[in-house]
Amino acid sequence: MSEIVDIVQSQIIASVKKEEDIDIAIQSNANIIFLLTGDLITTKNYVKRLREANKEVFIHIDFIDGLANSKSTIEYVAQKWEPRGIITTKSNLIQHAKKAGLLTVQRMFLIDRNALSRGLEIAHRFKPDAIEVLPGIMPSIIDELTKLTPLPIIAGGLVSNETEILHGLEAGALAISAGSRKLWNVDV
């Protein structure tokens, strides 16, 4: 079983896109935080505050201003910022992060069947700890993905209400990442 499965306590993942939402995420029921904001100066402090609140922090490497897509970036993030893991669309960063001891989430945008097939091919080659699929409001696709891969599926993007969360979970998603702070305390 994947280590990421073991750390999921709340099936809602708080996807933090603005600094002002960090305190709300700290107070939320979500135990996993996807950090999609920050830069070279602020991100270390964001991670520290979230970790002090006993949150498992995953940094979306592609969204942090000033970071390069390189092995040394991943090593720096792992050693100096100490998140639990990273999220990225870039498969080469998955490899570097795993070697640096970080958990990894491969983000996939499912725009058509080709993107689904290609995304799964890449995920099976690079073996992230989980796959985050966007948009997350496609229960039939989530169900299909859970049959095509042993990797845990996290659904995110365009999720706007409790019904969509429940449909994603019923379809087999491990968790739902939500950017709307009103969803961070949904009891599922």
- Mean pLDDT over 36-46 rounds to 97
| Tokens, residue 67 | 């970071």
Asked if residue 1 has pLDDT above 80, the reply is: no
Percentage with pLDDT > 90 across the chain: 98
**Which residues does 99 contact at the CB level (< 8 Å), separation at least 6?**
none
* 165 falls within a domain: yes
HEC string for the chain: CCHHHHHCCCCEEEEECCHHHHHHHHHCCCCEEEECCCECCCHHHHHHHHHHCCCEEEEEHHHCECCCCCHHHHHHHHHHHCCCEEEECCHHHHHHHHHCCCEEEEEEECCCHHHHHHHHHHHHHHCCCEEEEECCCCHHHHHHHHHHCCCCEEEECCCCCHHHHHHHHHCCCCEEEECCHHHCCCCC
pLDDT in tens, 43-53: 999 999 999 99
Asked if residue 82 has pLDDT above 60, the reply is: yes
**What CATH number does the domain containing 128 carry?**
3.20.20.70
* 188 falls within a domain: no
Percentage with pLDDT > 70 across the chain: 99
pLDDT in tens, 107-158: 999 999 999 999 999 999 999 999 999 999 999 999 999 999 999 999 999 9
Domain that holds residue 112: 3-183
Q: What is the pTM of this model?
A: 0.97
Task: Write down the mean pLDDT value for the chain.
Answer: 96
The predicted pLDDT at position 169 comes to: 98
* 74 falls within a domain: yes
Residue 188 pLDDT level (bands cut at 50, 70, 90): confident
pLDDT in tens, 68-78: 999 999 999 99
Give helix 113-126 / helix 139-148 axis angle, nearest 10°: 40
Residue 2 pLDDT level (bands cut at 50, 70, 90): confident
In the chain, the number of structural domains is 1
**Which residues does 88 contact at the CB level (< 8 Å), separation at least 6?**
60, 61, 62, 94, 97, 104, 105, 106, 107
